[in-house]
Chain A
């Protein structure tokens, strides 16, 4: 047996595995393109909120001109599209239908497949998101703006980090599927604070100071408000934002790993 393998070998293998997983999952996502259009359309909450906040008689949000508000909500829409996580639903269904067992028998943690599926779905979603943004621009040309290159890159990074943190948090919740057959209900419970505190219904600046302060202690605003502000040119604590996102990730990845080990001991391979 070859006990020592140079890092380049492991890297080559990992990169081949990533390439193959991503391409097969992308092919799978293309099979569901009609469904993905519907998912993309179902994520237009920020655009609906934009309509509500643009209405007459609404109290102005500190630091937001009407034009900035349009940019913010459009940015929030884009960020939301690329931070959607559904691993708990896929895992729960796979566990109940007995599809998890074959995946567990391979020398690859099944969560890498779920991660590849999410990333492939983002790639599939991209053209539809661009089409929706173009449509908004057509109806409302003032809604478009050009983000600064630095702002765009930081927003891209923050969006992907936010996605990974959300994936880690939901993965930890997903492990509860080993204890309950309906763990996805917990995710629905988290959806309410996520919707209100993330900045999807309003920028964080619209909330009273105590609620804003509370929200900043949760991971939610860093997942939408923070990247959306970076993208739309708003003022946000950049270093703190990346630090907080990284901290939530560092907290939840080991929690998910511990629950995974404990859960496998309880796994009964139902349905298989």
Chain B
């Protein structure tokens, strides 16, 4: 039986519509105008207990809005949703004790106090006895490689330490469902890897169902056998990651800074030219041709700087939508 079930889930926001400039400001002051924006449109899916599912999509696609509806923060405009046997927006205690939402840029920890103070509050809020709470804190802190950080004020922690402490706080009450919104945003590569390892561990040990959004393809490939792909509020793909990967052309982004500017045509034989601004060039190169293309670029042009990275997920997905290969 699915632990998450969304059926025709939609959310429309009413947003203020103001024209720029002084006249626009005056008009907006005298007569407010607003318009409806459909953030999520008729999204349906189910998730089984213990699954880790990646929620992918470009900025503004509706990922966070969907997570907010699933966690009961906002009411859907239409459709039905059920999580852990409850209707989220009713916010019953039974539901709230079974879920947790971690938002990469927002925190539940008290900013000016050490995480342990917030953890004590959480233990009391969720009715976890002191001894049991201490046992869970020790266990989770070990898994997250957290030590002294728990007794330092949150404001003194690095972003990575803070995110690990947030995860600890979110999991103290052992939720059945964990929603993660960009959990590795802004973290360095090592911290990202630790967070991914931890999430995989937690899922394996406790069977926690995880639904996570991320801009980093690395998070998705490391954790999620299944992905949901959302674009402009609509669900475009629901299936195994390898099925989606087949549709994505595996490629790498190559950024160059040249000594002399070159015409766009000069880069055609190395890959797809994504941007050309003076001496700065951005190319997408198929992964199997990467070594060869980089070697040829270095011998063909006078290069000041060269950087190879994974292209942003929204760019890949954007290309997919342009090519019309996502159904």
A-side interface residues toward B, CB under 8 Å?
13, 16-17, 19-21, 24, 27-28, 31-32, 98-99, 101-108, 264-265, 267-269, 271-272
Q: Which residue of A lies closest to B117 (CB)?
A: A24
Which residues on B sit within 8 Å (CB–CB) of A28?
A: 110, 112-113
Q: Besides A24-B118, A107-B97, A267-B74, 11 other CB < 8 A contacts? A: A20-B121, A24-B120, A27-B117, A99-B106, A106-B108, A106-B125, A108-B125, A267-B73, A269-B68, A272-B68, A272-B103
In the complex, are the beta carbons of B112 and A31 less than 8 A apart? yes
Q: Which residue of B lies closest to A267 (CB)?
A: B74
Q: Which of B13, B72, B75, B124: most chain A Cβ within 10 A?
A: B124
26 A-B pairs (CB sep. < 8 Å): A16-B124, A17-B125, A20-B123, A24-B110, A28-B112, A98-B105, A99-B106, A99-B107, A101-B101, A102-B103, A102-B107, A103-B108, A104-B72, A105-B72, A106-B96, A106-B122, A107-B97, A107-B125, A264-B75, A264-B89, A264-B91, A267-B74, A267-B75, A269-B74, A272-B73, A272-B103
Contact of B106 among A16, A32, A102 (CB under 8 A): A102
Closest 9 CB pairs of A and B: A102-B108, A20-B124, A107-B96, A107-B93, A269-B73, A17-B124, A31-B112, A108-B125, A98-B106
Q: How far is the CB of B308 from chain A (nearest CB, A)?
A: 35
Q: Which of B13, B71, B74: most chain A Cβ within 10 A?
A: B74
Which residues on A sit within 8 Å (CB–CB) of B52?
A: none
Which residues on B sit within 8 Å (CB–CB) of A21?
A: 121, 124
Which residues on A sit within 8 Å (CB–CB) of B89?
A: 264-265
Q: How far is the CB of A47 from chain B (nearest CB, A)?
A: 31
Q: B126 on the interface (CB 8 Å rule)?
A: yes
Within 8 A of A (CB), among B106-160: 106-108, 110, 112-113, 117-118, 120-127
Instruction: Report how far A268 CA is from B74 CA in the complex, Å.
Output: 6
Q: Which residue of A lies closest to B102 (CB)?
A: A102
Q: How far is the CB of A44 from chain B (nearest CB, A)?
A: 27
Which residues on B sit within 8 Å (CB–CB) of A272?
A: 68, 73, 103, 106
Which residues on B sit within 8 Å (CB–CB) of A104?
A: 72-73, 91
Q: How far is the CB of B114 from chain A (nearest CB, A)?
A: 9
Q: Which residue of B lies closest to A97 (CB)?
A: B106
Instruction: Report how far A105 CA is from B103 CA in the complex, Å.
Output: 12
Q: Which residue of B lies closest to A112 (CB)?
A: B125
In the complex, are the beta carbons of A13 and B127 less than 8 A apart? yes
Which residues on B sit within 8 Å (CB–CB) of A103?
A: 108
Which residues on A sit within 8 Å (CB–CB) of B105?
A: 98
Contact of A105 among B100, B112, B124 (CB under 8 A): B100
Which residues on A sit within 8 Å (CB–CB) of B108?
A: 102-103, 105-106
Q: How far is the CB of A142 from chain B (nearest CB, A)?
A: 42
Which residues on B sit within 8 Å (CB–CB) of A13?
A: 124, 127
Please judge, given known A-B contacts A24-B121, A99-B106, whether A105 and B96 are in contact too, CB under 8 Å: yes
Q: B99 on the interface (CB 8 Å rule)?
A: yes
Q: How far is the CB of A17 from chain B (nearest CB, A)?
A: 5
